A = this chain, B = another copy of it.
Amino acid sequence: MSSCEFKFTPNEYKSDLKPVWCPGCGDFGVLNALYKALADLKCNPQDTVVVSGIGCSSRLPGYVETYGFNSLHGRALPIATGAKLASPNLNVIAVGGDGDGIAIGGNHFMHAARRNVDIAYIMMDNEIYGLTKGQAGPTTPTGDKTKSTMYGNPDAAIDPCALAISFGATWVARAFSGDIKGTVDLMKRAIQHRGFAFLNIISPCVTWRGDDLFKELRGKVKSLPHDHDPGSRRQAQNFTYEEEIVTTGVLYAVQHPTLLDEMGTIKAKASTSSATRSDILKVFAPRF
Contact = CB atoms under 8 A, between A and B. Distances in A.
Contacts of A259: 154
B110 A265 contact: no
Nearest to A263: B154
Contact of A106 (B110, B158, B234, B266): B110
Nearest to A261: B154
A279 interface: no
Interface stretch (A22-30, A111-119, A201-209): A111-119
B154 A265 contact: yes
Given A106-B107, A107-B107, A163-B166, A158 B266 contact: no
A86 interface: no
Q: How many copies does the complex hold?
A: 2
Contacts of A82: none
Contacts of A150: 270
Interface residues of A, number: 31
Given A114-B156, A115-B156, A151 B107 contact: no
B168 A156 contact: yes
Nearest to A103: B111
Contacts of A116: 156
A47 interface: no
A115 B155 contact: yes
Given A116-B156, A166-B166, A265 B151 contact: yes
Interface in A111-130: 111, 114-116
Given A106-B106, A107-B107, A166-B163, A266 B152 contact: yes
Contacts of A138: 111, 114
Contacts of A163: 166
Interface of A: 103-107, 110-111, 114-116, 138, 150-152, 154-156, 158, 162-163, 166, 168, 234, 256, 259, 262-263, 265-266, 269-270
6 contacts: A104-B107, A106-B110, A116-B156, A154-B265, A166-B166, A234-B234
6 cross-chain pairs, A with B, having the tightest CB-CB distances, nearest first: A166-B166, A154-B262, A107-B107, A106-B107, A151-B269, A151-B266
